[in-house]
């Protein structure tokens, strides 16, 4: 793993930090949104906020796929998992995501056969090994994980594995960003574009951001120096009055994306007319379902999932917090009916969500602690 | 800060200080992970019913007055899969785990018990090997297995073998170890590389198809605690072995129970490259990974260098490091200065350390 240490070099970080400072207009407040949950993790884990001038605020966006999953979809997954004939498989961080009556970890404790996998191919292997059981893979994630689900389904069809289905909850990144940009009370200056998603979709899908909304976007990698360099690139654009899509993550992201992966996705998935996002409501064409050709593998059809909607509590104000209109403590349910143990909104689900971080650490979650000793 | 924000923060703080209520309808795996859910189980369900002065501090070993002396009593159960893993096995782990709970309480072990819960169908050869492992570990730690028990349960009721050990020791009358003894300025010592045991188990389970040479660090800590007592004397405030829940959880307990803050320096925290690599791939933080042969010690600043030297001079302590210190602020919280030059708050482990997808 030696190759990552170069991207975590504190001396280089200081140099980039100094360069960013020269571009800051002291009278201005800059809000940059990192769309992707992976970036939020990097920012938090390495303490990047301490390396940025006070005027630059990083706003955490809607890009954590487990956090944005609405309760209804979790409940439906749980309903499938509780069937005696089913082996239910999912990624590890899905286990704790709360539905209206509990999470998968609790359902497993109640006797359901739920197994954590690292890849959908592991789920397919379980199906192969257990021909008398129904194996369901709970697919989540943006365009980052969707191709692996697509490839798994292509393989399942090729091998004619009939006891394997996918409960598809894949979402796409552009529609929620567009929804945010469409809201009149949005206060953002620029976007730190997602890296992993872009290895698949490339940089072109973000061109509407500068063109239609006047917001620069830099597609960014996941090491702390990637983030720092991306902030620098955005600050340069703002300073020079440029507004465009740039690619910081050139070592992994081709401008046109991964055509092979996109072809697989196009064969296996189609867009849903609309999909619900926890805390954000319904967003048109923001999620994927299995295409006509793959209906045999669709868990929603095989188990006649009713598509029940569990309303986010009316009081939940994740959308406002996400847009930067409200601070976490200003939300009506913060700390009372919405807590890290019993989260209602997306921002309380992950420990790195803005609300969970504020709940655990108060102002310390956002304050700059200052120079290291 | 607005009045409203202050009110919200005050309410949260009040909530935090209130004894936890255990409201889960049934036990799930997170209750066994050693983090927040385990705390809730112990403090919300067990402690209120069993409440007594010996139990109340919830330390690694309870101290029971016995004439002029104090006896140290501890118990631990071992349910590891696979039974044998690189660097050790369940028998060795069961002895060391209990010896270590006595050791970090500042006690000298007098004897331990071992109860074996054996699953129908277990190969005699496997059982016999684990009994030999128990004997060998006990000999190394210099403590007799003075009593024991065996039970056999039906197939499917245990993962081959569970081992429960109880340890009895005599507490050092000179020492008064407790998180409450910590003072701002005290140094936090770590006896060696973190995460080896947890990473070795994860890799040995084979679900990950990772190939890496990581050995469990299981070992008795008695030589290390003796070295600390000798070198730091009254400057030794508190010791704990960061097993389940890892260093992140233990230091949060220290912060909470002392009322002070804990600051860490990431670059001082010893983690093997291969463990770091495995954690990186799995999206797990080494700070929350279990250790079975490491200790954390809080030592007064004037004794810290001598204590560090002493640890480094003992087998198993060669890579000891001062990883942080106790501070006034942020009170009751753990803050890490990252290698990248920023800071990060370290929370207690929330559930099982689950791999991230994003």
pLDDT digits 0-9 by tens, A152-192? 999 999 999 999 999 999 999 999 999 989 988 888 999 99
Contacts of B273 in chain A (CB under 8 A): 1-2
- In this structure, are A15 and A122 located in the same domain? no
Per-residue pLDDT for A1 more than 50?
no
- In this structure, are B194 and B324 located in the same domain? yes
Per-residue pLDDT for A94 more than 80?
yes
> pLDDT band at A147, cuts 50/70/90?
very high
Per-residue pLDDT for B348 more than 50?
yes
The ipTM assigned to this model is 0.84
Q: Hey, how many other C-beta atoms are within 10 angstroms of the C-beta on B85?
A: 22
Range 86-105 of A in CB contact (< 8 A) with B: 91-96, 102, 105
How far apart (Å, rounded) are the C-alpha atoms in residues A360 and A335? 10
The number of C-beta contacts closer than 8 angstroms across A and B is 137
Strands A164-170 and A114-116: unpaired
- The pLDDT assigned to A99 comes to 86
- In this structure, are A215 and A167 located in the same domain? no
- In this structure, are B142 and B283 located in the same domain? no
- In this structure, are B193 and B313 located in the same domain? yes
How far apart (Å, rounded) are the C-alpha atoms in residues A222 and A225? 8
- The pLDDT assigned to A302 comes to 95
- In this structure, are A165 and A18 located in the same domain? no
Chain centroid to Cα A118, Å, comes to 17
Residue B327 falls within a domain, yes or no? yes
For chain A, give the number of residues.
Answer: 373
- In this structure, are A75 and A52 located in the same domain? no
Give residue B144's domain range: 60-171
Residue A150 falls within a domain, yes or no? yes
Residue A272 falls within a domain, yes or no? yes
Residue A367 falls within a domain, yes or no? no
Give the CA-trace dihedral at A348, A354, A359, A365, to 10 degrees. Answer: 150
- The pLDDT assigned to A371 comes to 37
A242-256, B21-35, B115-129: least confidently modelled range: B21-35
How far apart (Å, rounded) are the C-alpha atoms in residues A292 and A178? 27
Among B153, B171, B189, where does a domain finish?
B171
DSSP 8-class letter at A76: H
DSSP 8-class letter at A313: P
- The pLDDT assigned to A237 comes to 98
Residues sharing a CB contact under 8 Å with residue B252, sequence separation 6 or more, in sequence order: B262, B333, B334, B346, B347, B348
- In this structure, are A216 and A102 located in the same domain? no
- The pLDDT assigned to A141 comes to 92
Q: What's the helix, strand, coil split of chain B in %, to 5?
A: 35, 25, 40
- In this structure, are B197 and B317 located in the same domain? yes
Number of compact structural domains in chain A? 3
Among B147, B171, B195, where does a domain finish?
B171
- The pLDDT assigned to A2 comes to 62
Contacts of B1 in chain A (CB under 8 A): 363
Q: What rounded mean pLDDT belongs to chain B?
A: 92
Percent of chain B surpassing pLDDT 70: 97
Count CA within 13 A, CB hemisphere, residue A252: 17
Is A128 at the interface with chain B, CB within 8 A?
A: no
Strands A114-116 and A86-90: parallel
Residue A373 falls within a domain, yes or no? no
| Whole-prediction pTM | 0.88
> pLDDT band at B353, cuts 50/70/90?
low
Q: Is the Cβ pair B345, A110 closer than 8 Å?
A: no
How far apart (Å, rounded) are the C-alpha atoms in residues A68 and A283? 12
Q: Is the Cβ pair A51, B341 closer than 8 Å?
A: yes
Range 211-250 of A in CB contact (< 8 A) with B: 224
Is A125 at the interface with chain B, CB within 8 A?
A: no
What mean pLDDT is predicted for residues B244-262?
94
- Note the pLDDT tens digit of each residue in A18-53: 999 999 999 999 999 998 888 988 998 899 999 999
Per-residue pLDDT for B271 more than 90?
yes
Chain centroid to Cα B261, Å, comes to 19
- The pLDDT assigned to A64 comes to 81
What mean pLDDT is predicted for residues A359-363?
77
- In this structure, are B270 and B222 located in the same domain? yes
Residue A309 falls within a domain, yes or no? no
Residue A370 falls within a domain, yes or no? no
- Note the pLDDT tens digit of each residue in B96-153: 999 999 999 999 999 999 999 999 999 999 999 999 999 999 999 999 999 999 999 9
CATH number for position A277: 3.40.50.11740
Among B121, B148, B171, where does a domain finish?
B171
- The pLDDT assigned to A373 comes to 38
Among B192, B139, B205, B35, smallest CA distance to A96 is for B35
CA distance, residue B314 to nearest chain A CA (Å): 30
- In this structure, are B199 and B315 located in the same domain? yes
Number of compact structural domains in chain B? 2
Is A44 at the interface with chain B, CB within 8 A?
A: yes
What mean pLDDT is predicted for residues A48-63?
90
- In this structure, are A112 and A205 located in the same domain? no
Contacts of A46 in chain B (CB under 8 A): 338-340, 342, 344
- The pLDDT assigned to B186 comes to 98
CATH number for position B297: 3.90.650.10
- In this structure, are A206 and A334 located in the same domain? no
> pLDDT band at A372, cuts 50/70/90?
very low
Residue B357 falls within a domain, yes or no? no
Contacts of A144 in chain B (CB under 8 A): 358
Q: Is the Cβ pair A365, B24 closer than 8 Å?
A: no
- The pLDDT assigned to B358 comes to 46
CA distance, residue B339 to nearest chain A CA (Å): 7
Task: Compute the Cα dihedral for B122, B128, B133, B134 and give only its sign.
Answer: positive
Q: Is the Cβ pair B355, A91 closer than 8 Å?
A: yes
- The pLDDT assigned to A366 comes to 64
Residue A44 falls within a domain, yes or no? yes
- The pLDDT assigned to B357 comes to 53
Contacts of A48 in chain B (CB under 8 A): 340, 342
C-beta of residue A132 within 8 angstroms of C-beta of residue A162: no
Place of tokens 């379902």: A289
Identify the H or E element spanning A359. Answer: helix A354-361
CATH number for position A21: 3.40.50.11750
> pLDDT band at B203, cuts 50/70/90?
confident
C-beta of residue B345 within 8 angstroms of C-beta of residue B335: yes
- In this structure, are A48 and A85 located in the same domain? no
Give the CA-trace dihedral at B138, B142, B147, B152, to 10 degrees. Answer: -10
- In this structure, are B121 and B260 located in the same domain? no
- In this structure, are B196 and B166 located in the same domain? no
- In this structure, are B198 and B306 located in the same domain? yes
DSSP string for residues in A228-250: HHHHHHHHHHHHHT---EEES-T
Among A187, A191, A189, smallest CA distance to A323 is for A187
Among A227, A247, A267, where does a domain finish?
A247
C-beta of residue A285 within 8 angstroms of C-beta of residue A273: yes
Residue B184 falls within a domain, yes or no? yes
> pLDDT band at B355, cuts 50/70/90?
low
- In this structure, are A112 and A145 located in the same domain? yes
Per-residue pLDDT for B356 more than 70?
no
* φ, ψ (nearest 5 deg) of residue A77: -60, -45
- In this structure, are A161 and A30 located in the same domain? no
> pLDDT band at A362, cuts 50/70/90?
confident
Residue B53 falls within a domain, yes or no? no
Give residue A98's domain range: 71-173+258-302
Count CA within 13 A, CB hemisphere, residue A311: 4
- In this structure, are A59 and A84 located in the same domain? no
- In this structure, are A80 and A12 located in the same domain? no
Residue A365 falls within a domain, yes or no? no
Per-residue pLDDT for A324 more than 80?
no
Percent of chain B surpassing pLDDT 90: 76
How far apart (Å, rounded) are the C-alpha atoms in residues B92 and B130? 8
CATH number for position B132: 3.30.1330.10
């Amino acid at each position: 793993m030696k190759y990552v240490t170069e991207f975590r070099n504190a001396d280089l970080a200081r140099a980039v930090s100094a360069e960013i400072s020269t571009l800051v207009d002291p009278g201005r407040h800059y809000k940059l949104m990192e769309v992707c949950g992976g970036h939020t993790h990097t920012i938090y884990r390495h303490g990047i906020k301490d390396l940025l001038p006070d005027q630059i605020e990083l706003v955490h966006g809607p890009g954590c796929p487990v956090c944005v999953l609405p309760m209804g979809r979790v409940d439906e997954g749980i309903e499938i998992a509780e069937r005696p004939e089913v082996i239910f498989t999912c990624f590890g961080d899905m286990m704790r995501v709360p539905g209206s009556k509990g999470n998968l970890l609790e359902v497993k404790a109640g006797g359901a056969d739920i197994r954590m996998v690292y890849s959908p191919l592991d789920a397919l292997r379980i199906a192969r090994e257990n021909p008398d059981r129904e194996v369901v893979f709970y697919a989540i994630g943006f365009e980052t994980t969707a191709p692996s689900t697509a490839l798994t389904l292509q393989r399942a069809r090729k091998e004619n594995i009939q006891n394997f289905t996918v409960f598809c909850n894949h979402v796409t990144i552009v529609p929620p960003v567009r929804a945010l940009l469409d809201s009149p009370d949005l206060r953002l200056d620029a976007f730190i574009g997602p890296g992993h998603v872009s290895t698949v979709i490339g940089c072109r899908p973000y061109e509407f951001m500068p063109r239609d909304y006047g917001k620069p976007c830099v597609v960014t990698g996941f090491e702390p120096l990637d983030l720092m360099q991306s902030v620098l690139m955005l600050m340069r654009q703002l300073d020079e009055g440029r507004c465009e899509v740039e690619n910081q993550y050139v070592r992994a992201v081709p401008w046109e994306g991964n055509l092979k992966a996109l072809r697989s996705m196009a064969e296996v998935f189609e867009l849903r007319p609309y999909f619900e996002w926890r805390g954000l409501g319904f967003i048109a064409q923001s999620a994927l379902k299995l295409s006509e050709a793959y209906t045999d593998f669709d868990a929603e059809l095989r188990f006649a999932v009713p598509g029940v909607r569990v309303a986010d509590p009316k009081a939940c104000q994740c959308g406002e917090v996400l847009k930067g209109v409200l601070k976490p403590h200003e939300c009506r349910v913060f700390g009372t009916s919405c807590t890290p143990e019993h989260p209602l909104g997306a921002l309380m689900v992950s420990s790195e969500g803005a609300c969970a971080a504020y709940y655990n650490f108060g102002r310390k979650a956002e304050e700059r602690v200052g120079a290291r000793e | 800060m607005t009045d409203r924000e202050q009110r919200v923060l005050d309410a949260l703080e009040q909530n935090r200080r209130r004894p936890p209520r255990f409201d889960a309808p049934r036990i799930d795996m997170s209750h066994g992970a050693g983090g927040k859910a385990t705390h809730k189980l112990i403090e919300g369900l067990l402690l209120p019913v069993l409440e007594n002065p010996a139990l109340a501090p919830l330390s690694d070993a309870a101290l029971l007055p016995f004439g002029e002396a104090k006896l140290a009593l501890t118990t631990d159960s071992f349910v590891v899969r696979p039974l044998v893993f690189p660097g050790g096995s369940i028998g060795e782990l069961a002895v060391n785990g209990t010896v270590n709970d006595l050791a970090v309480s500042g006690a000298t072990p007098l004897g331990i018990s071992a109860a074996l819960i054996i699953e129908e169908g277990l190969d005699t050869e496997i059982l016999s090997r684990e009994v030999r492992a128990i004997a060998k570990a006990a000999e190394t730690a210099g403590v007799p297995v003075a009593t024991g028990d065996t039970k056999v349960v039906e197939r499917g009721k245990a993962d081959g073998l569970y081992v429960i050990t109880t340890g009895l020791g005599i507490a050092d009358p000179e020492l008064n170890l407790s998180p409450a003894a910590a003072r701002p300025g005290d140094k936090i010592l770590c006896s060696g590389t973190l995460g080896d045991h947890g990473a070795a188990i994860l890799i040995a389970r084979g679900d990950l198809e990772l190939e890496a040479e990581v050995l469990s660090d299981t070992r008795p800590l008695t030589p290390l605690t003796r070295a600390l007592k000798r070198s730091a004397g009254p400057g030794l405030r508190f010791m704990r072995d960061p097993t389940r829940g890892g260093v992140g959880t233990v230091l949060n307990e220290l912060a909470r129970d002392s009322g002070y803050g804990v600051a860490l320096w990431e670059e001082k925290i010893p983690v093997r490259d291969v463990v770091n690599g495995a954690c990186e791939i799995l999206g797990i933080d080494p700070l929350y990974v279990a250790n079975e042969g490491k200790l954390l010690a809080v030592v007064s600043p004037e004794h810290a260098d001598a204590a560090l030297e002493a640890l480094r001079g003992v087998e198993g302590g060669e890579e000891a490091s001062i990883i942080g210190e106790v501070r006034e602020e942020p009170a009751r919280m753990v803050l890490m200065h990252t290698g990248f030059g920023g800071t990060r708050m370290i929370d207690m482990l929330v559930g099982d350390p689950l791999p991230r997808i994003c």
